[in-house]
Amino acid sequence: MKKLTELLNAFAARPDAPGIDDTPWKTARIEKKLDVNMKILEDIFGPSGDVIRRRFRFGQSRKQAALICVDGLIRADRVAAEIVKPLMYDSTAEDMPCVLPRTMEEVQDAYMTVGESKTAYSFGDLVSSVLSGDAAVLIDGIPGVLITNAKGFPQRSIEDPQTESILRGPREGFVENMRTNTALLRRRLKTPDFTLETTTIGKQTDTSVTIAYLRTIADPNLVKEVKARLSAIDTDGILDSGYIEQFISDGGSPFFTTIASSEKPDAVAGKLLEGRVALLVDGSPYVLTVPTFFIENFQTTEDYYIAPLFATALRFVRFFAFIISVLTLPLYVALTTFHLELIPTELLLSMSAAKGNTPFPTVIEALLMIIVFEILKEAGIRLPRPAGQAVSMVGAIIIGETAVSAGLIGAPMVIAVAITAVSAFASPAQANASMILRLLFLLLSGIFGGLGLALGLWLLLLHLASLKSFGAPYLSPAVPFHMADAKDSLIRAPLRWLLTRPTDLAKRNPRRQKPRS
């Protein structure tokens, strides 16, 4: 037991491990003396070559001033024209006041032409703003710092998102810049009720995280819960929205995520209109929305842009594709290993002839083929696109044909694996879950046959029914059943019939539109 305890302690993070607080300067006040402030900044930034520390003379007083910014995060022309020039030259004009400003607020009011500027009095605010792409100005004899917006770092242009391809609908996708993403949402939600609240998470990364919701629709308790979970995060860094997802998730399932993510502004706007809360993370093109339901994995934004009959048919196709991707191989193994009497005689004879004298049991064949398929899929994703496509196609064809010709794998097994692989891509949101569930069900059916498969399905349904996403049942509107919400589940009714928002979401403002719209 002692060895086991030591192993578990080495594997798990120790919550009582001592830490070092190397940021006492965050709460330090900015002094009046410029030389003292610059010395502190030298200690904070160290020898970093990209941090610009330019001194210049301020206006008629010719007092020493300093500009602090980071090269690569700013627009140099904007800094020169809208920050340095007004402070150096425009302040010496004849019509400018000769009295030296005594506060940074007076400097801001008299000389700044930048639309977005503010004053601060702590080194924590100064450093955080500078590392976010702002420019800071310090003036000898005046306490505080003047912070102006000078962001100009390169960013990816708005493109069609690769992970959510559609045939009809908007082609815009989120990018890595959070302010661009909030603007994309604001274009679609032209209402003052659309609220954006920003906080920072991460001791070292100081990542901006924005909470987005509609004040008159979102449940205040849901907004409060989201804020509470975000404020409880205490970590060194947040590099992507996936970090946030893992920290604030309900954590009740190793298979299914209880937080949805999307690259499409129209998808996020639609969920906000239903009463959800969105989380935008600076540096990530994926926006999180909570709560989420299991049925949403088989819905797309395109469903609302086409005729209801076609949208309903596509949803059923995606749902059955998920079932096929999970159950095809386990069912094949259970039938061919334990329940041969359930297979029609002619089909059984054909399968037996095709299988021949392969040396491995059916369950081992299935496991080998699944492993090979996952290796080919991973290689196709990680390699450069031309090489990845070649590896995927050539590898699948050559390995499949060669394995059948050599008598290592039966042809029916190759067909079952191919059907499983194609079906998994019809619902990409559940691709990872289907892979793990497929392996578990395969082991159960290989050991216990149909009884093991039935037991696995029963446990899966119990597991899904027990899940919650920020207090909302994960299987809603099926469990508990809501007739009004069933019109937008697997079935997509005409838009004029969708009079109310989901029952478990918009309890504050359930009415979406008037009857007979």
Q: How far apart are CA 219 and CA 510, in angstroms?
A: 11
What string of pLDDT tens digits covers the 517 residues of the chain? 445 445 545 555 455 555 544 567 778 888 889 899 999 998 888 888 889 898 988 877 778 899 999 988 888 888 888 888 888 876 554 555 556 778 888 888 888 777 788 888 999 889 888 988 889 999 988 889 999 988 887 778 888 888 888 888 888 999 998 889 999 999 999 999 999 999 999 988 889 999 999 999 999 999 999 999 999 999 999 999 999 999 999 877 888 889 999 999 999 999 999 999 999 999 999 999 999 999 999 999 999 999 999 999 999 999 999 999 999 999 999 998 888 888 888 888 887 877 767 778 888 888 888 888 888 778 777 777 666 666 666 666 667 777 777 777 778 888 888 888 888 888 888 888 888 999 999 999 999 999 999 999 999 999 999 999 998 999 998 888 888 888 888 899 998 888 888 888 877 888 888 887 5
pLDDT of residue 432: 84
**Token output for 24:** 């006492």
Q: Residue holding tokens 């050559």? A: 398
Q: Residue holding tokens 């030389």? A: 35
Q: Strand 117-120's sheet: what is its strand order?
A: 51-58, 63-70, 134-139, 142-149, 117-120
Q: Output b/e per residue, 111-145; b: 16+ Cβ within 10 A.
A: bbebeebebbebbebbbbbbebbbbbbbbbebbbb
Parallel, antiparallel or unpaired: strands 134-139 and 142-149: antiparallel
What sign has the CA pseudo-torsion 378, 379, 383, 386? negative
Q: How far apart are CA 87 and CA 84, in angstroms?
A: 5
Q: How far is CA 195 from CA 11, 88, 215, 279, in A?
A: 42, 39, 7, 12
DSSP state of 81: I
What's the CA angle centered on 513, arms 511 and 517, to 5 degrees?
155
> The pTM is what?
0.84
**Token output for 125:** 């605010």
CB contact at 8 A, 279 and 241: yes
Q: How far apart are CA 315 and CA 304, in angstroms?
A: 12
Q: Return the SS3 of 118.
A: strand
